[in-house]
Amino acid sequence: MKDSFLRIVTLLVLGFILVSQAAEKESLEDNSTVQEQNITIPEQTNQELIKPIIGAVEQVRIIPGNIILEARIDTGATTTSLGVDEMEICNEDGKEYVEIMLNGMKSKHKIIRFIKIKQHGKKSLKRPVIRLRLILGEVSESVDVTLADRSNFKYKLLIGRNFLYERFVVDVSLKYTTTPKSYEEK
């Protein structure tokens, strides 16, 4: 019921915005005493205005592997981070790859780059960054993901701004607002 209420409120607000924009545009067109103005009012569809509302914890599908994990949504994190069970970096033909074990599934990925994580009072860590497809609700995007040891954390997957930006509205009072759409790996 809470989810339905939030959706209704969101649609009412968006409807108000569209009506206000239409009234403003009509007012500008009807006002014959105003000189020609170069005002551009963008034509927007409801799809462009409505972003899915997600909560602090959501289910996310990871491709390859077609694995669904509970993920912590963190608007303070720049980059998405994945905790893997095992990780081994190898070199093939001058290119670096990482073999990971995640929920009993082994996969191999090209390393895009390494990032340095500074730790207070400890030695800096070097983490590999790979590219994975993540699916949250109806949104499916390939994003950079840092690989980390998240065994001390409740959630193996932390969704950062590189996946959230301009795609979602986050309401931290909610959890599990959606399920990831299905995906067939080729």
The pLDDT value given to residue 46: 54
Of the residues 49, 73, 88, the one at which a domain ends: 49
**Are 106 and 161 contained in the same domain?**
yes
For 26, counting Cβ atoms within 10 Å of its Cβ (0-12 exposed, 13-18 middle, 19+ buried), the class is exposed
pLDDT tens figures, 11-43: 666 666 665 665 555 554 444 444 444 555 555
Within-domain flag for 182: no
Do 7 and 75 lie in one domain? The reply is: no
153 DSSP assignment: S
Instruction: Fill in the amino acid letter for 81.
Output: S
DSSP class per residue in 7-61 = HHHHHHHHHHHHHHHHHHHHHHHH-TTSPP---------HHHH---EE-SEEEEE
Query: Which domain CATH number covers 116?
Result: 2.40.70.10
Label each residue of 75-92 as H, E or C: CCCCCEEEECCEEEEEEE
CA-CA-CA-CA torsion sign (179, 181, 182, 186): negative
Position 93 pLDDT exceeds 50? yes
Summarize pLDDT for 40-84 with one digit per residue, the tens: 555 555 555 689 999 999 999 999 989 999 999 999 999 999 999
Tell whether 134 is covered by a domain: yes
Number of domains in the chain: 2
Is residue 185 assigned to a domain?
A: no
| pLDDT tens readout for residues 106-157 | 999 999 999 988 778 888 889 999 999 999 999 999 999 999 988 889 999 9
Higher-pLDDT residue of 166, 11: 166
Residues 33 and 97 in one domain: no
Other CB atoms within 10 A of residue 137 CB: 19
Q: Which of 23-27, 89-93, 167-171 has the lowest mean pLDDT?
A: 23-27
30 with 121, same domain? Answer: no
CA distance 34 to 53: 41
pLDDT at 32: 41
Residue 110 covered by a domain: yes
Q: Are residues 21 and 66 in the same domain?
A: no
Q: For 149, list phi and psi in degrees, rounded to 5.
A: -90, 105
Alpha carbon distance 73, 90 (integer Å): 31
Range of the domain at 14: 2-49
**Shared-domain flag, residues 105 and 67:** yes
Say if residue 59 is in the same domain as residue 12: no
Note the pTM of the prediction, 2 decimals.
Answer: 0.71
